[in-house]
Structure 1
């Protein structure tokens, strides 16, 4: 599996790359967004590790723009910004995980390995359930043929539920998958996003609450026990 590390601190970049290489990954390095863009355009990666503040801009802006274009490579943000608002911004704009500096390189490697496994998991690019269609490659969702406008988190939750139709998915599992391991498992952030998602999907309701656990994607034309 191949990983791109984008960090302008040369010593830290080499330390991260060395540990990832020792874990058996193929690692490329970049010192700014321009270098990263050239690398991402010329090779396929299972994960990209972005320092947020780079010499030519905030990586969150670049990642957000690429996500809007359908780019699906998992992203881990490294940053000294430790405020909740900063972490939420990273996730909302396309990040898959967020690690605050200073960090243990071993923990970073474990997180990258998890993202690489997620990226390598075989799954269809188009998921269908009832009259709902989700295209992972194009980052598009349609209900009864109508294109819907979803945020990155709404898309991530829906995609996770559609890959597990009729299964009760715990809130904690959705938080870990869609927000990362550092997210507060007691937070109501999942409930807030699901509420918005239900409104956008319109009736009949496809996402049912499983009391005391989480959510289940159902087919309104078929009863679920």
Structure 2
């Protein structure tokens, strides 16, 4: 929940100037608040930056105050949508069942969902990391097309805490996630205190295909450094 329309445009001006050196095969996606989708859609038209939303409801319309539907998102040329982010699960009552509904709705409208999974500090300390994540995958992916999917491993204890999951451990968990998929070629990202000073090491890991970035995406120079990892 950051940036007004004016702030988003200012961000974009600072950010796009850094993309000249970005390899063509890197996909850059901005998942912005609903209020900035319109202005960003116009500003990004014809650029290499793709647009994503932060949530989607499973119904086309209805008495779901505060939610947003697939047809509403399609108007803005959305390509991606984040589903099941840990903050949605933690603060807004998201369950594996509703995550599954949202994933299938996204795919119904031709959107690529970015499914977030991960464990809390309490679960990790109890040795339940694998159990928790495997359970999430099993419930979340019922009826979901794995050829039209991105997964993000977000250890919840590492989000916004500055406490990054060790890269080798993140690589190990992402490898385990991959082993549970029908399609082993699904793009799997790491998210959790990704910063300019650790992105190169994160992206050196063989199982990690990309990064889902939170706080470090708010400054154009920082986010550009992540996009242009070495």
TM-score, length-scaled by structure 2: 0.30
Q: Which has the higher strand share?
A: 1
Give 1 or 2 for the bigger CA radius of gyration: 1
Indicate the structure whose relative CO is greater, using CA pairs within 8 Å and at least 6 residues apart: 2
So what's the TM-score if we normalise by structure 1?
A: 0.31
